[in-house]
Chain A
Amino acid sequence: MIENASGADGEVPVGTAGRSRSVVLRGEHLSKTYATRVVHDVDLELSSGRLHVLAGGNGSGKSTLLKMLAGVVPADAGGAIVLGGRRIAAESYSPRAARAGGLRFVHQDLGLVDPLSIAENFALDGGHPHRLPGWIDDRRLLERTSEDLRRAGLDFDPRIPVAALRPSDRTLIAIARALREDPDADAARPPLTLILDEPTASLPITEVDRLLDRLDALRAAGHGIALVTHRLSEVMRIADDVTVLRDGNVVGTGPIGDFDQDRILALIAGHVPERLTRHERDSSRAPVVLSARGLSAGPIRGIDLDVHRGEIVGVAGLVGSGRTTLLRALFGDVPAVGQIAVDGESVPIRSTRDAVAHRFALVPEDRVREAAYLDAPVWENLSAASLWRYRTRLGLSGRRERRAAPALISRFRVRTPSAAAPLAALSGGNQQKVVLARWLQTNPRVLLLDEPTQGVDAVARDDIHRTVRETVDGGACAVVVSSDVEELEQLCDRVIVLHGGRLVQTLAGARVRRDILTAAIQQENRVA
Chain B
Amino acid sequence: MSDLIRKDASELAGLVSSGEVSAVEVAQAHLDRIAAVDGEVHAFLHVDTEGALVSAAAVDAKVKAGDKLSVLAGVPLGLKDILATNGLPTTCGSRILDGWIPPYDATVVTKLREAGVVILGKTNMDEFAMGSSTEHSAFGPTHNPWDLERIPGGSGGGSSACVSSFEAPLAIGTDTGGSIRQPAAVTGSVGVKPTYGGVSRYGIVALASSLDQAGPCARNVLDTALLHSVIAGHDPMDATSINAPVPDVVAAAKRADIKGMKVGIVKELGGEGYQAGVRSRFEESVALIESLGAEVVEVSCPSFPAALAAYYLILPSEASSNLAKFDGIRFGNRVGDDGSKSVEQVMSETRAAGFGSEVIRRIILGTYALSAGYYDAYYGQAQKVRTLIKQDFDAAFAKVDVLISPTAPTTAFKIGEKLDDPLAMYLNDVATIPVNMAGLPGMSLPIGLAPEDNLPVGLQIIAPAMADDRLYNVGAAIERELLAKWGGPILGMAPELAGA
A and B associate: no
